[in-house]
């Protein structure tokens, strides 16, 4: 049994899936047969909702139907806001999000219906309402009311508007759409595995996603994008950032935004897409140009000193910051984007379910007598 033990389940195949696969050899994130990065340059987040939930890219009529469904489900029960307002203002947005997602289950009249049709509807409801809970967590913590979505704005534009309180430009919508796409699905990270484990007990989708929020809150999973931006803000300049990174390396501290359990010695292809987005922003914005220069300097040091490459969070952080997203909301936005992938995994687990029940390698004493 000890020969089969893999700490952290590293390289252990835990399930079969048709949803996604990290093909490290070909530097490709496969999403239902497509290259995610190639798709993200040609389609929108709405298209990926169709691909992940309905297993095919939608045509124009189907895309419009998805947008209509998201609009029809976006009325968050008012009691959800009342619940969140009872939490202390110091509550972390991820804790507010976890509470909100869990509470939504009480307002689902068909909670015990685990049919594919019911779970598809549930996924759409969560996709419509989670972005509002994310945005509201920030406003409520600061003593303000949630900003409701605008009827005339698209799903993606509303996601940003409800956070910042101003209508985003076309370019801002484009970059936010890219952020949502690169975070939408990523095979079997800890939060997705947690969701599938919970689902395997035949618990409901809200419970599975609540567990996923709790997983993502952990600093070894989510939170790296926030830590990256905090380092950039602390350093202020290229020289300051180089000095900060070298100091952390000398103190043997972990540099957030670098390395990945799967990619190991290669750059996360999603990081490259976010780097290109930041480069576009830098063409007309001096602040974005500064963040880009700092990030490139840090990337160079880490590659030369440690042989490590950026993961998604490293370049996504300044992109989100330039979009006006508060740093404490970086990880909640990550989760909002991932709702579609998580929902697809929940539905797939139920379609061919077997409860997860691994064993242990016991290292404690035996033979003790009372």
Q: In this structure, what DSSP letter does residue 226 have?
A: H
Number of H helices, E strands in the chain: 16, 3
Measure the CA–CA gap between 234 and 71, rounded to whole angstroms: 40
Which one is catalytic: 138, 260, 268, 345? 260
Measure the CA–CA gap between 48 and 27, rounded to whole angstroms: 20
CA atoms within 13 A on the CB side of 28: 11
3-state helix, strand, coil in the chain (%, to 5): 60, 5, 35
The kind and range of the H/E element at 305 are helix 286-306
92 is catalytic: no
> Would residue 143 be called left, alpha or beta, if left means φ above 0 and alpha means ψ between -120 and 50 degrees?
left
Which one is catalytic: 204, 268, 313, 345? 313
54 is catalytic: no
What would the 3-class secondary structure string for 25-70 be?
CCCEEEECCEEHHHHHCCCCHHHHHHHHHHCCCCCHHHHHHHHHHH
Structure-token match 């239902």, residue found: 32
321: Cβ–Cβ under 8 A, 6 or more apart, which residues?
229, 232, 291, 327
Residue numbers annotated as active site: 260, 313
């Amino acid at each position: 049994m000890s020969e089969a033990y893999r700490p952290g389940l590293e390289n252990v195949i835990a399930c079969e899936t048709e949803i996604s696969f990290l093909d490290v050899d070909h530097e490709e994130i496969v999403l239902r047969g497509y290259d995610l990065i190639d798709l993200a340059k040609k389609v929108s987040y709405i298209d990926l909702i169709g691909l992940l939930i309905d297993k095919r890219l939608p045509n124009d009529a189907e895309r419009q139907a998805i947008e209509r469904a998201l609009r029809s489900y976006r009325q968050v029960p008012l009691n959800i806001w009342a619940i969140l307002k009872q939490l202390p203002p110091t509550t972390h947005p991820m804790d507010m999000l976890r509470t909100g997602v869990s509470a939504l289950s009480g307002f689902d009249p068909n909670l015990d219906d685990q049919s594919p049709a019911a779970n598809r509807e549930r996924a759409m409801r969560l996709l419509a309402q989670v972005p509002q809970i994310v945005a509201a967590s920030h406003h409520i913590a600061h003593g303000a009311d949630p900003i409701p979505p605008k009827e005339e704005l698209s799903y993606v534009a509303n996601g940003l508007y409800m956070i910042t309180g101003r209508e985003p430009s076309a370019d801002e919508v484009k970059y936010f759409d890219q952020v949502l796409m690169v975070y939408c699905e990523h095979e079997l990270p800890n939060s997705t595995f947690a969701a599938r484990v919970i689902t395997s007990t035949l618990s409901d989708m809200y419970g599975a996603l609540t567990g996923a929020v709790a997983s993502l809150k952990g600093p070894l999973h989510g939170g790296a994008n926030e830590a990256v931006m905090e380092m950039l803000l602390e350093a202020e300049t290229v020289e300051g950032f180089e000095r900060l990174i070298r100091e952390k390396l000398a103190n043997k501290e972990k540099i957030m935004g670098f390395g990945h359990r799967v990619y190991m010695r290669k750059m996360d292809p999603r990081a490259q897409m976010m780097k290109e987005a930041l480069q576009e922003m830098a063409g007309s914005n001096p602040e974005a140009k500064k963040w880009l220069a700092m990030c490139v300097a840090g990337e160079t040091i880490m590659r030369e000193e440690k042989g490590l490459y950026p993961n998604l969070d490293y370049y996504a952080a300044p992109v989100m910051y330039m979009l006006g997203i508060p740093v404490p909301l970086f990880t909640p936005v990550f989760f909002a984007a991932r709702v579609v992938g998580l929902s697809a995994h929940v539905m797939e687990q139920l379609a061919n379910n077997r409860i997860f029940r691994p064993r242990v390698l016991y290292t404690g004493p035996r033979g003790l007598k009372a």
